[in-house]
Structure 1
C-alpha cells in the first residue's frame, strides 16, 4: 500500500501570532478574516514561504490582542469582540461616540481665533486711550453734585 502524502493537508495547521510577549494561536480562517487576505496566503505564512507585511502584522496584533503599539497610546486598548476603544481610566467608547470629539476640537479652535482677535482689539483701544490721555485730549465730564 502506497503512503499518502501530507501535501495539501491543512486541517491541523494554526497561525501563531505574536502579541506582546506571548503568542495567540489562530485558525487559518480567523487569521484570514483578521488580515483581510485569502486562506491560501495564510497557509503560505504558516508554511514559512511568505511572511505578512509589517502593516498586516500590526493590524492582526491590534485585532487579536486589543493593544495599540504606537507611542502615546500606552494604556489604551480595543476590545476585539465589540470593537470598543478603552481609555487608560477605564472609560470605553464606540467609534460613533467619538464623532463629537472632532466637532469639539474645531469649535475650540474657532473660539481661540476669535479670542485672539478680540485681544488685539482690546490692546489697540487701550493704546489709543493712553495716547489721548497723554496728549490731554481726553476729558471726562464732571459729575454733578446732588443737593439734598
Structure 2
C-alpha cells in the first residue's frame, strides 16, 4: 500500500465546490460563497465537502434558504425563489414582488365588483317585481284597451 505524501496540500478555493441538493433543486457552490452565506470559515466548508464534519440542521436550513431560495415555513413547502428573484409556485407560476402587489389590488377590485353585482341584482329583482305588479294590475273599469290592430288603424297618417 502506498503511503500518503507528507507534503502539505493547499486547497484552491475555486477548485472545490459544495453540492447543495434539495429535491429537484441542485446547486454547486464555491466554498467561499458557502462560507459567506453560512457565516463559517472556508476550512469548515472544506470539511463538509470532504465529509469529515457534518453540517448541523440550522446551518443547512440557512443554506437552503439563502442559496436555493427555499422558504422555511411549512405553509410555503414546494415554493422557492429562483435565480432571477421570482417567487415560484409548485405549479411553475412565477411572480415578481410588484406582480404580487398587483394581485392584491385585483383581489380588492374584484371584491368591489362583487359588491356592485350584488347591489344591482337586488335592484333588478325589485324592478322586475314592480313591473310584474304593474302588468298584473287590471285596467280601471272606465278604460277599455283597444286591440293592437285598432290602435294602428287610428293613427294619423303623416
102-111 vs 115-124, which moves further: 102-111
Unaligned runs of 5+ in 2: 1-5, 71-75, 146-150
Contact 2:18 2:30 in 1 (8 A): yes
User: Judging changes above 3 Å, is the alpha-carbon distance between structure 1 residues 23 and 98 closer, same or farther for their aligned structure 2 residues?
Assistant: closer
Is 1:48 equivalent to 2:42 in the alignment? Answer: no
Aligned CA distance change for structure 1 residues 28 and 100 (closer, same or farther; 3 Å)? same
Work out which of the two has the higher radius of gyration on C-alpha atoms and give 1 or 2. Answer: 2
Aligned residues: 127
What corresponds to 2:39 in structure 1?
Answer: 38
Work out whether 1:62 is the aligned partner of 2:38. no
Structure 2 Cα separation of the partners of residues 111 and 119 of structure 1: 12
Contact 2:34 2:63 in 1 (8 A): no
Tell me what 1:16 maps to. Answer: 19
CA RMSD in angstroms comes to 4.9
Partners of 2:64 and 2:20 lie apart in 1 by 10
For structure 1, which runs of at least 5 residues remain unmatched after alignment? none
Alpha-carbon spacing, 1:53–1:39, altered in 2? closer, same or farther (3 Å): closer
Which TM-score applies when normalising by structure 1?
Answer: 0.52
Q: State yes or no: 1:99 paired with 2:101.
A: yes
Match for 1:25 among 12, 23, 28? 28
> TM-score, with normalisation over the residues of structure 2?
0.50
Distance 2:93 2:126 in 1: 46
